Amino acid sequence: MTRIITYGTYDLLHQGHINLLRRAKELGDYLIVGVTSDSFDRSRGKLNVRNNVLERVEAVKATGYADEVIIEDYVGQKIDDIQKYNIDIFAIGSDWEGKFDYLNEFTKVVYLPRTEGISSTMLRAEITTDVRVGIIGCGRVAKRFPAEADVVNGLKIVATYDVNQAEAEKITSTIEDAKTCKSVEELYGAVDAVYIATPHLSHYQYIKESILAGKHVLCETPMVLKGEEAKELFALAEENSVILMEANKTAHCPAFNHLMVMIKSGVIGDVVDIEASLSKLWNDQKSLREFDPGQAGGSLYELGSYPLLPIIRLMGCQYENLNLYSRIKDGVDMYTKGVLRYPHAVCSFKVGLGVKTEGNLVISGTKGYAYVPAPWWKTDYFELRYEDQNKNQKYFYKWDGAGLRYEIQEFISCILNKRFSTSRLRRRESVCMAEVMEQFTNRKNFMEI
């Protein structure tokens, strides 16, 4: 029996792919097809928004040419697979001519002719119209958005707006063919979706106006500071058939999501305690919005949604009690600690703008615990630790850029695939975070220290 193997991404499967698979199968008796994983694509700088790996695997199976489909997940896997599956022929498209000659040491390499006049890039360009995105609010966070958006397929930034037009023009100057708008209404006329990075207290109004204008919305975290406002806005978005998503970069980080899945699968047993902390120290406190009580400054409003994320993702929104303890200075909390009691667990978080803490994430279970070192909110490494240290495991990942690219990718994917909610940060979880912010505003179960 002659065994053949070939590899590809197979996004937007087209006739060219099918012809290649047919030609590969004709070389022998048994064809194995390697489909690149989403994480492997990310490591190569490909952030696609159309087909995930499961959809691509099913598309390859549906051609009828693959006797077996495997996942390609790391550099160097081709050599491992050739030896593992006793491969006689490695087949690949002729556009890779010479690139895989090094595999001749392990098997015969055949470059197959590609179908002229068709490619995934061309097909994507034909069937996908880029989502036109406008930026509302051009401060520190928004300045990172263009470079991050540039690595995601499926969108184009076309407009910016800020009440300070000079700030908008600074960002516009870095974006090809974008324009600075003199009003938010002008921006709405040019875009399909908006990214809102204005001060916290303006989020509600800008989100509502954008939804009513028929625009998809990605809003910086915290989205709003009241639970009922969050519920109202999500309902309004669905009523108007647009996507509303909170831009929490940690929620969309690949490593963080892998950690959440592993914990939920029971690798450390039942979770009974979660400790999460995050702090920053700024010297110029007088001029920054983060220290202005009139602009919702303070530790919890500014940082709270990040340590709340793993608690709510793992334990849910139905906590029995929340107590808050804060150190207040000039009207804002320089430090806040929250303790949430669940039926079978106690969780705590710490945030500080004037107090420095370690910044770890520790998730304790009945069989072991997960440890994520600072800065855990930019997860690129974590450990699973057990009583028997021989069972300990370490996991390493890549965190690219400022991390906004992951939330941008999910936002555009939701738009193109018409998904009103993302499993990475569900609407009820955003509502729950807003309710915590509101409890702090109302000083309920609150003590100053």
Sign of the C-alpha dihedral, residues 364, 365, 369, 370?
negative
Asked if the domains at 3-121 and 254-398 fall in one CATH topology, the answer is no
pLDDT at 288: 85
**Cα-based distances in Å from 288 to 28, 29, 252, 283, 418:** 68, 68, 28, 10, 38
Res 404: pLDDT: 94
CA atoms 416, 256, 353, 321: torsion sign: positive
Q: What is the pLDDT of residue 123?
A: 46
CATH number of 124-247: 3.40.50.720
Match domain 3-121 to its CATH number in 3.30.70.260, 3.40.50.700, 1.10.10.60, 3.40.50.620: 3.40.50.620
So what's the pLDDT on residue 47? 67
Rounded Cα distance, 259 and 274, in Å: 13
pTM: 0.81
Q: What are phi and psi of 134, to 5 degrees?
A: -115, 145
- State which amino acid sits at residue 413: S
Architecture field, domain 254-398: 2-Layer Sandwich (3.30)
Domain boundaries, the chain: 3-121, 124-247, 254-398
Cα–Cα distance between 302 and 448 in angstroms, integer?
18
Closest CA relative to residue 198, chosen from 308, 289, 300, 303: 289
Mean pLDDT per 10-residue interval, the chain, length 449 residues:
94 87 95 87 64 85 95 89 95 93 94 71 56 96 94 93 96 96 97 97 98 98 98 98 97 93 96 97 78 93 98 97 96 96 98 92 98 95 97 90 92 90 94 98 96
